[in-house]
A and B are shown apart, each in its own frame.
Chain A
């Protein structure tokens, strides 16, 4: 019986350790913890048929190298009549490593469809970046 209690206590401790570890590195941590990675970037002067490069900067506030394993861009609707379908953003194709407490840059291909209507003139598409990585 005493042994079972010990095992239960150990399990509880284990869960606590896991929870602590998760809260230290997750991007969805509480207000006191900054996400380890942050992505910034954008571009201007798009027009129908434009093929451009979207420059992105991936910032790290951790003291070790991080290898980016996924970097996705979610495009939002610009305005009525100018939906997100008129803007296409490609995927990360190359290896990207962010130095400790530093940043790395990368460019993703962007295309505005030739069929983009007049409603897209001067329109701004909101972009949401999501990045995932591992300690290099």
Chain B
């Protein structure tokens, strides 16, 4: 049977197209490989900065009318560095001189913010909060040579 030339051309074109589809399809199907999976990333929790007795690190820079430094003995128990950014008073200031001085220490703490007191991961350090404690003339005479305990709370952020 003789097929007309036009019809033959159409058939050949269709065949070429089909072969192309097969080639591309099989190629993509055989060579492209995919997969999926699930996982999780968990954040740790932050432990509080611990504060300890810093009396061994104090210096006698307070007298009536003067402003002095606050010493903090701080420990960062976290596995990442932190920065203490604020210190604020958290209770009554007492002394090691007894009731008379405690009744009238004349000492006060000015709350501090915008601090950059850095602690490395796991580090314990003595930090100085400069010019944050002041003494007035209201301080009892028995407070001479006293070491004052200033209860504070600190605010810290990750410094990683």
Contact = CB atoms under 8 A, between A and B. Distances in A.
Given A121-B43, A123-B42, A37 B35 contact: yes
Contacts of B25: 14-15, 17-18, 21-22
B99 interface: no
Interface stretch (B10-18, B49-57, B143-151): B10-18
Q: Which bracket fits the contact residues of A? A: 35 or more
Contacts, number: 175
A127 B40 CA distance: 5
A129 B39 contact: yes
A114 B158 contact: yes
B18 A11 contact: yes
Nearest to A46: B43
Interface stretch (B26-34, B107-115, B130-138): B26-34
Interface residues of B, number: 37
Nearest to A120: B43
B3 interface: yes
B40 A126 contact: yes
Interface of B: 3, 7, 11, 14-15, 18-19, 21-22, 25-26, 28-46, 78-80, 157-160
A42 B43 contact: no
A114 to B, nearest CB: 6
A36 B35 contact: yes
Please indicate which of the listed interface residues A7, A41, A54 has the most CB atoms of chain B within 10 Å of its own CB.
A7
B35 A49 contact: no
